[in-house]
């Protein structure tokens, strides 16, 4: 629960070129998850590919959105992905702490998977609460690294940055604030060189122009 | 239904006229990529109507099949859910494009005109072009109407300063292959050979000004994230 409120605060900025946390989730819901169905059914021919056949008690791989559906209708139990395990997560957390850079996460959508699975299937995942806490810790360590590097980036006024191993959700958390800040720095640099600032600030102007024209 | 999963897709790119065999899953992936690219690129990108049409065809086919299933069948709701998810993807993509057309209509029409004259592929689909022209016409009428009511409004100023996308805005991207010597656009006008260069490794994630990578994005060498 704590996790989701933080997300809402950090992710849902207003602005045109933003992607809401929900849309990142939408992409993440394609991740393949193992479920143990409680029913029998032949292969399902989905547009995105075949799933099944389902045999009661036999683990099957399905996309996460389907897994959640089955769980909600009590037609199956969800098996936690193999990285969602206290020992592995503790190790990941230690690595993340030791490393100066970002370590590679086991899944590109680890936060989405954690949130969705722990929300809907906490009874299927052993020690769900501990897992929730430790994933939140990893997220926090990574977020503090992001803040430090953003700070450095802005101070150096760089025009380029590598972001290897950052997951989409983490990138989304610094959007749109970081790109916007860099846009402004770009404008400052461009106007310094040109001494004629108007060329690069068309969009900037158009937003403020009409109101001044009206008052005159 | 297995045959249906294999879709023939004709890519109408200028360079590649060959027919490509794609599975429906690959089409969905292309749609997702196009959706995210469109979402984050400041300007409107070349349209991907062949992907949209292909996916809509799949959706229509599936919906037709679903009608014959009794509503009590549990499979029906799962298929329906998938159809709804794909429908969201397509409509969100199209909506994003329409929003851009509305915002930058004058700018986009001017560019399309230039592309038309130099015989390049247009970025807008036929329907989008029609929509853009209608918007432009409606805007013009509105402005003309306004001026006749309130003479003295600085109409010339509005017309001469159409809203333009900020091509230098920063974007996050993932490189789909190794790309060498991308010129970093940092706002300063460096003379030839003096600007900073950077190499992208395959899979690298980068934050950079859109103007540096617009060409790569349209070629499909990188994707936005």
Distance CA A8, CA A12 (A): 6
Nearest residue, CB atoms, A27 vs list B1, B32, B184: B32
Taking CA atoms, what residue in A is nearest to B203? A164
- The domain B170-224 is classified under which CATH number: 3.40.5.60, 3.90.1150.10, 3.30.1130.10, 2.60.120.10? 3.40.5.60
For CATH 3.40.5.60, list the domain ranges present in chain B: 170-224
Distance CA B53, CA B59 (A): 10
Distance CA A178, CA B66 (A): 46
- B139 membership: H or E segment, kind and range: helix B126-149
Nearest residue, CB atoms, A213 vs list B154, B163, B207: B154
In the block, tokens 């950079």 appear at: B208
Best mutation target among B205, B208, B212 (most A Cβ atoms within 10 Å) is B205
Each residue's pLDDT expressed in tens, for chain A with a length of 216 residues = 344 433 333 333 333 344 577 888 888 898 899 999 998 888 888 888 888 789 998 999 999 999 999 999 888 899 988 888 899 999 999 999 998 888 888 888 888 899 899 888 888 888 888 999 999 999 999 999 999 988 888 888 777 888 888 888 888 888 878 888 888 888 888 777 665 444 443 333 333 333 333 332
In the block, tokens 């809203």 appear at: B163
Distance CA B41, CA B214 (A): 8
For CATH 1.20.58.1030, list the domain ranges present in chain B: 2-103
Q: Which pLDDT does position A208 carry in this prediction?
A: 34
Nearest residue, CB atoms, A161 vs list B164, B203, B206: B206
Whether the Cβ atoms of residue B41 and residue B224 lie closer than 8 Å to each other: yes
Taking CA atoms, what residue in A is nearest to B39? A17
Q: Do A46 and B208 touch (CB under 8 A)?
A: no
Handedness of CA B172, B224, A26, B124 (dihedral sign): positive
Which residues of chain B carry a pLDDT beneath 50?
Answer: 1-18, 191
Give residue B136's Cα distance to chain centre: 20
- Interface TM-score (ipTM) > 0.90: no
Buried-state track B123-158, b at ≥16 Cβ within 10 A, e below 16: bbbeebbebbeebeeeeeeeeeeeeeeeeeeeeeeb
Q: Do A19 and B39 touch (CB under 8 A)?
A: yes
Best mutation target among A29, A45, A47 (most B Cβ atoms within 10 Å) is A47
Domain A2-30+80-173 has CATH 2.30.40.10: no
A–B CB contacts, 8 A cutoff, strictly below: 143
Taking CA atoms, what residue in A is nearest to B225? A168
- CATH no., domain B2-103: 1.20.58.1030
Which long-range contacts does A204-213 make (Cβ < 8 Å, 24+ apart)? A205/B161, A206/B161, A206/B163, A206/B164, A209/B157, A209/B161, A210/B158, A213/B153, A213/B154, A213/B157, A213/B158
Taking CA atoms, what residue in B is nearest to A42? B75
For chain A, domain boundaries: 2-30+80-173, 176-216
């Amino acid at each position: 629960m704590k996790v989701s409120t933080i997300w809402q605060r950090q992710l849902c900025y207003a602005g045109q070129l933003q992607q809401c946390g929900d849309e990142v989730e939408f992409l993440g819901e394609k991740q393949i998850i193992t479920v143990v169905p409680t029913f029998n059914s032949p292969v399902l021919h989905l547009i995105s590919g075949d799933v099944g056949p389902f045999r009661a008690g036999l683990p099957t791989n399905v996309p996460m959105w389907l897994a959640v559906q089955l769980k909600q209708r009590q037609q199956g139990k969800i098996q936690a992905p193999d990285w969602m395990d206290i020992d592995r997560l503790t190790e990941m957390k230690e690595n993340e702490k030791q490393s100066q850079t970002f370590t590679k996460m086991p899944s590109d959508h680890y936060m989405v998977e954690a949130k969705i699975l722990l929300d809907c299937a906490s009874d299927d995942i052993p020690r769900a609460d501990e897992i929730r806490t430790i994933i939140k810790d990893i997220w926090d360590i990574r977020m503090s690294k992001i803040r430090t590097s953003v700070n450095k980036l802005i101070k150096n006024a760089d025009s380029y940055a590598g972001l290897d191993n950052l997951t989409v959700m983490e990138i989304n958390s610094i959007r749109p604030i970081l790109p916007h800040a860099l846009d402004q720095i770009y404008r400052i640099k461009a106007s310094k060189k040109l001494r004629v600032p108007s060329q690069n600030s068309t969009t900037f102007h158009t937003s403020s122009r009409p109101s001044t024209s009206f008052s005159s | 239904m297995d045959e249906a999963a294999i879709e023939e897709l004709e890519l109408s790119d200028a360079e590649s006229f060959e027919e490509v065999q794609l599975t429906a899953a690959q089409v969905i992936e292309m749609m997702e990529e196009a959706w995210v690219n469109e979402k984050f690129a400041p300007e409107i990108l070349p349209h991907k109507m062949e992907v949209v049409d292909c996916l809509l065809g799949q959706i229509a086919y599936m919906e037709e099949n679903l009608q014959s299933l009794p509503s009590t069948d549990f499979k029906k709701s799962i298929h329906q859910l998938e159809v709804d998810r794909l429908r969201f993807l397509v409509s969100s993509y199209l909506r994003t494009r329409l929003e851009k057309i509305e915002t930058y209509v004058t700018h986009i029409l001017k560019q399309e005109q230039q592309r038309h004259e130099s015989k390049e592929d247009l970025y807008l689909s036929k329907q989008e072009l029609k929509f853009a022209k209608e918007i432009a016409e409606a805007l013009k009428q509105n402005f003309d109407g306004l001026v006749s009511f309130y003479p003295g409004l600085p109409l010339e100023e509005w017309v001469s300063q159409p809203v333009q996308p900020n091509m230098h805005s920063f974007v996050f991207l993932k490189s789909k292959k190794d790309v060498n010597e991308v010129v970093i656009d940092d706002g300063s006008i460096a003379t030839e050979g003096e600007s900073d260069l950077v190499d992208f490794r395959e899979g690298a994630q980068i934050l950079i000004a859109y103007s540096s990578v617009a060409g790569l994005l349209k070629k499909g060498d990188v994707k936005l994230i």
